[in-house]
């Protein structure tokens, strides 16, 4: 098969090499010609490449109907590349956006390109540089015909799902694929923040060294229920020596400011529009924003100094169980979003299929996804992941440890936003009565927003003041 790739940054170059290694003839183009030359010099012997200096040259190098991957920064750059490319294409050609685009942009591009006779595929790609090179997880949406045309190559390029399949699936028209990828990234935010909170507890409450923390994470990663890519790399991070300072571990020399590219915020925005609560993901985004306010935090630390706190006894088993329950809760938020979006936008998103293709290649790959796949495949699949009987039994058995960890963190003055937010979400889910009857009464009092009653149908308004 022949395919074009526009954009030879880290991910684009890795995908190009991956495609060529699996037998594709790959035409490559980068806006900066020097980048193309560098790529060919480094990877030209790895497969069959054609280096192109212009978009017209790239289009001419491919037989019709063409499949061309765009791998540039999300937003305006994608539109700019598509607009520059269109004059050199013919009806039936397919443009594949494999970047981190917003799903609404993919909806728009699919409609606009279909109106001009072209196919558009929005392809969410997860796995970072290594995944793109050796096997990512890929979440597709857009034109089914365009996807089917390139699917044989993508299947070769994708990661194994741990069974007989590959981590590639089609989820529906328009921006469905990029929506699934966005939710993946939201869960990724929560999972990463959760691990950071566990590190904070081990460092401040248990006074563990970096070597001891690495050993704990490595041990937990050997457990069936917690085994995951993020725990695997976390153990390695704590063992990495610093080469610049000459001694100590690198982790201690990294400034505590976490960046973000916006997909976590997109997840929150989409969840709000779907009216789906995602407290763990929200807390993770909040935590990155707080971390960025380093100077303000420094002033706050100086202002308050050493306030009185307690350092209660906390054991590793309790921390491990709290981590497991909060992790499941974060996945539950993401799957609930996907289910609601599938219904609202008319996408055939199969949650068992999402679980399957997240088992390999992607950043949030974890053993838990095997059980989630089974849950969503069952005839009596639950409305919410947290309502699955097997998962429910885990929460009933371990929730007290979770509560003690969050309580002890609060007493010690250690912020654990994801651990605490997900615990609150769990308690809210299992509570049939919440005090929002008062909230609605207040709304009706000052704004005549009306209310419903528990004893009779209808919409009511009360004159609250005499």
The burial class, CB within 10 Å (0-12 / 13-18 / 19+), for 104 is middle
Is residue 181 among the annotated active site residues? Answer: yes
DSSP for 26-79, written as a single string: EEEE-SSHHHHHHHHHHHGGGSEEEEESSHHHHHHTSPSSPEEEE-S-SSHHHH
Point out which residues pair with 69 in neighbouring strands: 5, 96
Given a contact cutoff of 8 angstroms between Cβ atoms, the answer to whether 183 and 169 are in contact is no
Please tell me the distance from the alpha carbon of residue 187 to that of residue 182, in angstroms, as a whole number: 9
Q: Which of 165, 183, 172, 92 is nearest to 140 (CA)?
A: 172
Helix (H, G, I), strand (E, B) or coil at 125: strand
- Terminal-residue alpha carbon distance, the chain: 79
Q: Do the beta carbons of residue 284 and residue 193 sit within 8 Å?
A: yes
Candidate list 46, 129, 145, 181, residue with the active-site label: 181
Q: Could you write out the DSSP letters of every residue in 282-324?
A: HHHHHHHHHHH-HHHHHHHHHHH-S---------HHHHHHHHH
Give the Cα-Cα-Cα angle 310, 312, 315 (nearest 5 degrees).
Answer: 150
Give helix then strand counts, H and E, for the chain.
19, 8
Positive or negative, the CA dihedral 317, 322, 324, 325 is: positive
Residues 6 or more apart from 155 whose CB is under 8 A from it?
166, 168
Q: Which of 46, 112, 164, 188 is catalytic?
A: 188
Cβ burial of 44 (10 Å; 0-12, 13-18, 19+) is middle
**Separation of alpha carbons 252 and 267, rounded Å:** 31
Q: Which residues pair with 52 in a beta bridge?
A: 29
For 359, the 3-state DSSP assignment is coil
- Alpha helical stretches, state H, 310-435: 316-345, 351-357, 368-377, 389-411, 417-429
SS3 content of the chain, % helix, strand, coil (to 5): 60, 10, 30
Q: What is the DSSP letter of 275?
A: T
- With residue 189 as reference, give the H or E element that holds it: helix 176-204
Point out the residues that are catalytic.
181, 188
């Amino acid at each position: 098969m022949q395919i074009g790739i526009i954009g030879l940054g880290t991910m684009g170059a890795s995908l190009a090499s991956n495609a060529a290694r699996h037998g594709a003839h790959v035409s490559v183009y980068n806006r900066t010609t020097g980048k193309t030359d560098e790529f060919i010099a480094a990877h030209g012997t790895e497969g069959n490449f054609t280096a192109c200096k212009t978009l017209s040259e790239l289009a001419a190098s491919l037989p019709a109907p063409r499949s061309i991957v765009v791998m540039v920064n999300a937003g305006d750059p994608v539109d700019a590349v598509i607009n520059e490319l269109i004059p050199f294409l013919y009806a039936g050609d397919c443009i594949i956006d494999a970047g981190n685009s917003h799903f609404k942009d993919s909806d728009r591009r699919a409609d606009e390109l279909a109106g001009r006779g072209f196919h558009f595929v929005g392809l969410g790609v997860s796995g970072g540089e290594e995944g793109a090179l050796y096997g990512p997880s890929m979440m597709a949406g857009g034109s089914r015909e365009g996807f089917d045309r390139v699917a044989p190559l993508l299947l070769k390029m994708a990661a194994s799902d741990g069974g007989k399949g590959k981590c590639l699936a089609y989820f529906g028209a328009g921006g469905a694929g990029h929506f699934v990828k966005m939710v993946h990234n939201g869960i990724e935010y929560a999972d990463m923040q959760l691990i950071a909170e566990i590190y904070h507890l081990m460092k401040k409450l248990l006074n563990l060294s970096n070597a001891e923390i690495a050993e704990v994470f490595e041990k937990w990663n050997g457990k069936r229920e917690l085994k995951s890519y993020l725990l695997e790399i976390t153990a390695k991070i704590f063992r990495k020596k610093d080469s610049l300072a000459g001694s100590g571990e690198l982790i201690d020399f990294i400034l505590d400011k976490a960046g973000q590219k916006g997909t976590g915020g997109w997840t929150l925005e989409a969840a709000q529009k779907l009216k789906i609560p995602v407290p763990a993901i929200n807390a993770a985004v909040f935590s990155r924003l707080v971390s960025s306010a380093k100077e303000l935090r420094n002033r706050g630390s100086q202002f308050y100094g050493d306030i009185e706190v307690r350092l209660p006894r906390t054991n590793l088993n309790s921390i491990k169980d709290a981590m497991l329950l909060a992790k499941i809760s974060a996945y539950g938020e993401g799957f609930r979003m996907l289910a609601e979006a599938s219904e609202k936008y008319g996408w055939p998103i199969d949650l068992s299929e999402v679980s399957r293709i997240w088992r390999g290649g992607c950043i949030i790959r974890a053993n838990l996804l095997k059980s989630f796949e089974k849950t969503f495949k069952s005839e009596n699949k639950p409305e919410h992941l947290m309502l699955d009987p097997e998962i429910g039994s885990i929460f009933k058995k371990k929730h007290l440890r979770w509560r003690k960890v969050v309580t002890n963190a609060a007493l010690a003055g250690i912020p654990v936003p994801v651990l605490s937010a997900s615990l609150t979400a769990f308690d809210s889910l299992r509570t049939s009565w919440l005090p929002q009857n008062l909230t609605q009464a207040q709304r009706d009092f000052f704004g005549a927003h009306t209310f419903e009653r528990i004893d009779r149908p209808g919409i009511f308004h009360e004159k609250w003041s005499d």
